[in-house]
């Protein structure tokens, strides 16, 4: 029986064994390949230069098999499976990173709000190159996660690579990551809602936070929903969040391998914000469940989306425990998800209605295709299934100038400008700003037709 379905880091107890998964390969050929695996394992055990741990070899083989499918399918050893369940419950011990792997590199999808990594300045797109002085190249997500986890108060030295900068070694002190999924505050006449991750508590926390802010300031004129650097989480939580702002209509659909494998999720009556204007903030660290919410609210014209095109992870992972979790679990991609209009987010992402970079440095990243951090950058990523492609390298429509204070949030300011204009982008004037790209000044607030075309390098 289905208990939980996650988008991003999924947990689903199906109570089935791996044997139940049907193979498209003829039975005899399958048995021959399994015998080949056994033969290789036996040779390694007998002739390798030092004694080997067969359990580790088999786990590595399982990891390799799963990661060959796509970037998000993987084998979870028992300890990693336990860690995953802890994360969905909203608390765990570690450094506060959501990570993924591609071509032998482990990259940061998003740092958790107020976690050790976020406080140290780690950003989405950073590459983990070394842990405690040991090269991290070739390690799986599970192996890196295991090295980053540890007792509260202990430290781990992590070296990060970032475009255009020298390698940076950071000492991170492990801590209990208490994931307050939802936080909120007043911004003048408007309410600001931040969702850091989608877990079992998100729907309840969002309801409570909206109610608290409405008590503090009756008649709130509009809301900002901040999903930046939110790497995803539970599908059920994404549905709850979308439902909080919608009166009716489809939120998301997921479609599996067969034509009859379609599930649709719809909103129930009742908008917790009384249809007040809404702006959703996204960036390239917004993935998975975040994209479900942004896509649903955009398609229903319920919200204006501001920021940068999201990550583009439009696939659903199902976690299948092996022998009730005693042998770990498989996290395997089982479906793509689609926005209410039928659009696939996979490899494309959610494009903002008002494209705004947070800083001049971020604008430079988007302007250089080789450094855009997205699902589309993965060689083994699933296709979008609709033939569309992610927008290539281009200069964002807006970015703050180099003189803009680093302690201010330009994207949030522009979101509030949209609310002040009644929630209509066309009414929002773009302030003049110039950034420097490859040593040359570039106006990013009044793009010409050539800049809109944004040919790839």
Query: Residue 223's beta-bridge partner residues?
Result: 191, 278
Whether 299 sits among the annotated catalytic residues: the reply is yes
Find the Cα–Cα–Cα–Cα dihedral 270, 275, 281, 285, rounded to 10°.
10
Whether 452 sits among the annotated catalytic residues: the reply is no
Whether 385 sits among the annotated catalytic residues: the reply is no
Strands 105-111 and 127-131: antiparallel
Find the Cα–Cα–Cα–Cα dihedral 401, 406, 408, 409, rounded to 10°.
70
**How is the chain split among helix, strand and coil, in percent rounded to 5?**
30, 25, 45
Find the Cα–Cα–Cα–Cα dihedral 307, 309, 311, 314, rounded to 10°.
120
Q: Do residues 92 and 86 make contact, with C-beta atoms less than 8 angstroms apart?
A: yes
Integer Cα distance of 100 and 320 in angstroms: 19
Q: Where are the alpha helices (DSSP H) in 303-433?
A: 360-366, 410-420
Assign 26 to helix, strand or coil. coil
Candidates 126, 226, 243, 299; catalytic one:
299
Candidates 107, 313, 347, 391; catalytic one:
313
Candidates 73, 110, 288, 290; catalytic one:
288
Integer Cα distance of 256 and 225 in angstroms: 30
Q: Which residues are catalytic?
A: 288, 299, 313
């Amino acid at each position: 029986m289905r208990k939980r379905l996650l988008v991003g880091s999924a947990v689903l107890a199906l109570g089935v064994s791996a044997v139940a998964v049907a193979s498209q390969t003829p039975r005899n050929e399958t048995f021959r390949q399994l015998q080949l695996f056994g033969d290789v394992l036996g040779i390694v055990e007998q002739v390798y230069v030092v004694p080997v741990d067969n359990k580790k070899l088999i786990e590595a083989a399982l990891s390799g098999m799963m990661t060959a499918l796509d970037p998000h399918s993987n084998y979870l050893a028992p300890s990693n499976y336990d860690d995953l369940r802890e994360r969905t419950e909203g608390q765990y011990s570690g450094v506060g990173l959501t990570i993924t792997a591609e071509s032998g590199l482990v990259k940061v999808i998003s740092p958790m709000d107020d976690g050790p990594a976020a406080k140290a300045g780690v950003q989405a797109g950073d590459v983990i190159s070394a842990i405690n002085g040991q090269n991290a190249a070739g390690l799986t997500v599970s192996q890196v996660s295991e090295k980053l986890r540890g007792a509260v108060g202990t430290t781990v030295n992590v070296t990060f690579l970032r475009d255009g900068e020298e390698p940076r070694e950071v000492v991170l002190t492990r801590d209990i990551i208490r994931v307050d999924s939802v936080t909120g505050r007043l911004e003048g006449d408007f309410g600001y809602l931040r969702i850091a991750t989608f877990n079992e508590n998100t729907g309840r926390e969002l309801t409570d936070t909206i109610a608290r802010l409405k008590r503090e300031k009756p008649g709130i004129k509009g809301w900002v929903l901040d999903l930046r650097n939110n790497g995803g989480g539970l599908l059920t939580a994404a549905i709850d969040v979308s439902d909080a702002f919608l009166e009716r209509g489809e939120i998301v659909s997921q479609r599996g391998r067969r034509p009859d494998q379609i599930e649709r999720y719809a909103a129930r009556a009742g908008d917790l914000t009384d249809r007040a204007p809404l702006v959703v903030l996204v960036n390239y660290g917004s993935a998975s469940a975040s994209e479900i919410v942004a896509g649903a609210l955009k398609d229903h014209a319920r919200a204006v989306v501001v920021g940068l095109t999201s990550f583009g992870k439009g696939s659903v992972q199902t976690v299948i425990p092996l022998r009730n979790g005693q042998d770990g679990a498989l996290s395997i991609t089982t479906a793509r998800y689609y926005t209410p209009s039928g659009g696939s987010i996979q490899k494309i992402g959610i494009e903002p209605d008002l494209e705004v970079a947070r800083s001049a440095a971020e604008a430079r990243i988007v302007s250089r295709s080789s450094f855009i951090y997205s699902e589309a950058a993965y060689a083994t990523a699933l296709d979008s299934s609709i033939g569309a492609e992610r927008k290539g390298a281009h200069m964002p429509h807006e970015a703050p100038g180099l003189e803009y204070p680093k302690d201010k949030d330009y994207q949030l300011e522009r979101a509030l400008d949209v609310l002040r204009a009644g929630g209509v982008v066309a009414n929002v004037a773009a302030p003049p700003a110039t950034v420097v790209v490859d040593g040359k000044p570039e106006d990013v607030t009044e793009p010409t037709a050539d800049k809109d075309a944004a040919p790839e390098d």
